[in-house]
Copies of this chain bind each other. A is one copy, B any other.
Amino acid sequence: MAKRLMPLLNRVLVEKIVPPAKTHAGILLPETSNKLDSGKVLAVGPGLRDKTGNHIPVAVKEGDTVLLPEYGGTTVKLGEKEYHLYRDEDIMGTLHD
């Protein structure tokens, strides 16, 4: 069973970050506090070519924490773990502390 997936074109492999159900102080977070998920970038594709052959690199890099769109993305299981593939133009932004 293959363990590593190298995305193609401008696809981005992401592992979703599951927000804690409770805050450190134990307060139950409202389940729908944020419809948008966030995730960690595990791997990115080589990027695209525009209409005249210029290379367009992917807009995020391995290790980035990203804000994911509400819809779209493809679920991929590698071994027992579940990951998600997005096209980079669908990723909303990068998250920073």
12 A-B pairs besides A2-B96, A52-B53 with CB distance below 8 A are A2-B38, A4-B95, A5-B92, A6-B93, A8-B59, A8-B91, A36-B74, A46-B59, A49-B50, A50-B51, A52-B52, A67-B76
Size of the A side of the interface (Cβ < 8 Å), in residues, is 46
Asked if B52 and A76 make an inter-chain contact with CB atoms under 8 angstroms apart, the answer reads no
Chain B residues within an 8 Å CB radius of A45: 93
Residue of B nearest to A2 (CB): B95
Taking the closest CB of chain B, its distance from the CB of A15, in whole angstroms, is 15
Asked if B35 and A75 make an inter-chain contact with CB atoms under 8 angstroms apart, the answer reads yes
Can you list the 9 inter-chain pairs with the closest CB atoms, starting with the nearest?
A: A2-B95, A53-B54, A34-B77, A51-B51, A4-B96, A7-B93, A52-B52, A5-B93, A6-B94
Chain B residues within an 8 Å CB radius of A62: none
Cα(A70)–Cα(B74), bound, Å: 9
Residue of B nearest to A43 (CB): B93
